[in-house]
Amino acid sequence: MLATVLCGVMLAGCSSGGGGGNGDAKAQAKPAAEPKPLAEGALRPLLLSQSDLGAGYVQVQEKPDSQKYDDVSVQGCPSLEKLGQGAEENMFASKAETSFTYDTDATLGEELHSDRPSVLSSKLRQLFGAYTSCPSYTMTAGTTPIEVKVTKSATPELGDEQFAYTSTMKLPSGAQVLKTMAVRKGNIAVMLVGAPALVDRHIKAAVGKLPASS
């Protein structure tokens, strides 16, 4: 399903970021060390499951990353084009993901990313900044050009930082609306993308599965 592929594309981008510091004052205390990234194995149990979501959801079989989005490109938005070019070098330290269909025609995808909190914050700001920098652009999936319109969305007061936008895509089968929302809590970021009602319904549960102090 084309909409499912595009749902994954909206989740997949990761922007560049990083941080550093120096201090040579002998008497000055060192700043507290940031929490280290969690490994994928520690993230995977924190993903939403069918039991978390309720009736009507079916988990989608995952595909290797290398097979997912090779035929998808973006035109008409320089910041997104640049983001795509640097995707391989700019991944977060670790990631776990899953996705579901709901009543056969709606989708919900989730990714958990982990890195140092300052890196997560920087990358999420750049990622969502890129996606909301252009009110419209063209996405090509294979040979099919798709017009995409983007608007910023309100976010719930969850975690340490929240980001969201809504995309409306003109597909051959008709208009498709997807919402992308991310919440950072310490050194973990939850990102959901899918039908707006599903994202809004399950973001609290997704954040609630994270450790109290991550």
Domain span at residue 43 reads 2-7+35-208
For the stretch 91-119, pLDDT in tens is 799 999 999 999 878 999 999 999 999 99
186 C-beta neighbours (distance < 10 Å), count: 19
pLDDT-derived band at 70, boundaries 50, 70, 90: low
Burial (CB < 10 A; 0-12, 13-18, 19+), residue 71, is exposed
Does residue 30 lie within any of the structural domains?
no
Identify the three-state secondary structure at position 47: coil
Does residue 21 lie within any of the structural domains?
no
Mean pLDDT of 8-26: 45
Does residue 56 lie within any of the structural domains?
yes
The pLDDT, as a whole number, for residue 2 is: 46
What strands lie across the sheet with 72-75, from one edge to the other? 57-59, 94-102, 106-114, 188-194, 174-185, 161-171, 144-152, 136-141, 72-75
For position 74, which CATH number holds?
Answer: 3.40.1000.70
Mean pLDDT of 136-143: 86
Does residue 81 lie within any of the structural domains?
yes
Which is higher by pLDDT, 126 or 2? 126
Question: Closest Cα partner for 11 from 209, 149, 141, 178?
Answer: 178
Does residue 79 lie within any of the structural domains?
yes
Task: Give the predicted TM-score (pTM) of the model.
Answer: 0.82
Round to whole Å and give the CA distance between 195 and 101: 10
Q: Into how many domains does the chain fold?
A: 1
Does residue 29 lie within any of the structural domains?
no
Mean pLDDT of 138-146: 85
Does residue 19 lie within any of the structural domains?
no
Does residue 167 lie within any of the structural domains?
yes
Round to whole Å and give the CA distance between 11 and 124: 12
